[in-house]
Chains A and B, each alone.
Chain A
Amino acid sequence: MIKPFSIDLSVDVGGLKLRNPVMPASGTFAEGLDKVIDFNRLGAFVTKTVTRELRAGNPLPRVVERPGSLINAIGIPSKGVPHFIEKIIPQYAAYEPPLVVSISAPTAEGFASLAAELTLPGVSAIEANISCPNIEEDGKAFAMRPESAEKVTRQLRAATKLPLWVKLTPNTGDIAEVARATEAAGADAVVVANTFLSMAIDLKTFKPCLGNVMGGLSGPAIKPIVLRQVFQCAKAIKIPVIGCGGISTAEDAIEYMLAGASAVQVGTATFLQPAAMISVIDGIEMFCLQREISRVTDLVHGVVIEEADDQDLAWLSPPT
Chain B
Amino acid sequence: MSLDHPSHQMQPAVTPPASPHAPWKPSIVAELAKVVANTAVNAEYRHLVVDCSEVAASAQPGQFFQLLCPHPAGEQPFLRRPMSLYGADPATRQVEFLYKVTGAGTRGLDMIKSGEHLDIMGPLGTGFTLDPKWRHIVAVGRGAGLATLAPLAKAAKASGTKVTAIFSARRPELLVSVDLFKEHGAEVVPVTDSEQTSGPGNVERILRGLIAQDKCDAFFTCGSSRLMRVQQRLAIEFGLPGQVAMEQQMACGIGLCYCCVRDFNVGGEIVNRRVCWDGPVFDLLEALP
Show the binding face of A for B, using Cβ within 8 Å. 27-40, 54, 56-57, 60-63, 65-70, 72, 74, 77, 79, 94-96, 219, 270-275
Q: Does B17 lie within 8 Å of A40, measured CB to CB?
A: no
Q: Does B17 lie within 8 Å of A35, measured CB to CB?
A: yes
Contacts A33-B256, A35-B14, A77-B258 given: A63-B249 contact, CB under 8 Å? Answer: yes
Instruction: Report the Cα distance A284→B287, complex, angstroms.
Output: 46
Given B18, B29, B248, B256, which contacts A270 in the complex, CB threshold below 8 Å? B256
Q: Does A65 lie within 8 Å of B79, measured CB to CB?
A: yes
B265 interface hit (Cβ, 8 Å): no
Q: Does B76 lie within 8 Å of A68, measured CB to CB?
A: yes
B254 neighbours in A (Cβ, 8 Å): 32-33, 35-36, 274
Closest-by-CB residue of A relative to B29 is A36
Instruction: Report the Cα distance A128→B255, complex, angstroms.
Output: 23
B259 neighbours in A (Cβ, 8 Å): 60-63, 72, 74
A54 neighbours in B (Cβ, 8 Å): 1, 3
Offer 11 A-B interface pairs, CB within 8 angstroms, sorted by A: A27-B257, A34-B17, A36-B29, A63-B79, A63-B259, A67-B76, A69-B78, A272-B68, A272-B78, A272-B79, A274-B30
A70 neighbours in B (Cβ, 8 Å): 78-79, 251
In this complex, the member of B18, B19, B121, B256 whose beta carbon has the largest number of chain A beta carbons within 10 angstroms is B256
Q: Mark B256-283, 1 if CB is under 8 A from A, else 0.
A: 1111010000000000100001000000
Given A30, A68, A74, A79, which contacts B255 in the complex, CB threshold below 8 Å? A30
Nearest-neighbour CB distance to chain A for B214, whole angstroms, equals 40
- Count B interface residues, CB 8 Å: 36
Contacts A28-B252, A70-B251 given: A60-B76 contact, CB under 8 Å? Answer: no
A34 neighbours in B (Cβ, 8 Å): 17-18
B258 neighbours in A (Cβ, 8 Å): 57, 62, 74, 77
Majority secondary structure, A binding face: loop
Q: Does A56 lie within 8 Å of B252, measured CB to CB?
A: no
A-contacting residues, B6-47, CB 8 Å = 14-15, 17-20, 24, 26-30
Closest-by-CB residue of B relative to A32 is B255
A36 neighbours in B (Cβ, 8 Å): 26, 28-30, 254
Instruction: Report the Cα distance A37→B27, complex, angstroms.
Output: 9
Instruction: Report the Cα distance A35→B126, complex, angstroms.
Output: 14
B14 neighbours in A (Cβ, 8 Å): 35
Contacts A27-B257, A40-B20 given: A65-B77 contact, CB under 8 Å? Answer: yes
Given A35, A57, A72, A77, which contacts B27 in the complex, CB threshold below 8 Å? A35
Q: Does A274 lie within 8 Å of B3, measured CB to CB?
A: no
B142 interface hit (Cβ, 8 Å): no
Q: Does A271 lie within 8 Å of B80, measured CB to CB?
A: yes
Contacts A32-B277, A69-B78 given: A40-B24 contact, CB under 8 Å? Answer: yes
In this complex, the member of A40, A74, A271 whose beta carbon has the largest number of chain B beta carbons within 10 angstroms is A271
Nearest-neighbour CB distance to chain A for B22, whole angstroms, equals 11
Q: Does A274 lie within 8 Å of B28, measured CB to CB?
A: yes
Closest-by-CB residue of A relative to B23 is A38
Closest-by-CB residue of B relative to A78 is B3
Instruction: Report the Cα distance A66→B77, complex, angstroms.
Output: 8
B255 neighbours in A (Cβ, 8 Å): 30, 32
Other A-B contacts than A32-B256, A66-B78, 15 sampled, CB-CB below 8 A, are A35-B26, A37-B26, A40-B24, A54-B3, A56-B1, A60-B248, A60-B261, A61-B249, A61-B259, A62-B259, A65-B79, A72-B259, A96-B20, A274-B252, A275-B30
Q: Does A77 lie within 8 Å of B249, measured CB to CB?
A: no
Nearest-neighbour CB distance to chain A for B83, whole angstroms, equals 15
Nearest-neighbour CB distance to chain A for B126, whole angstroms, equals 11
Q: Does A72 lie within 8 Å of B257, measured CB to CB?
A: yes
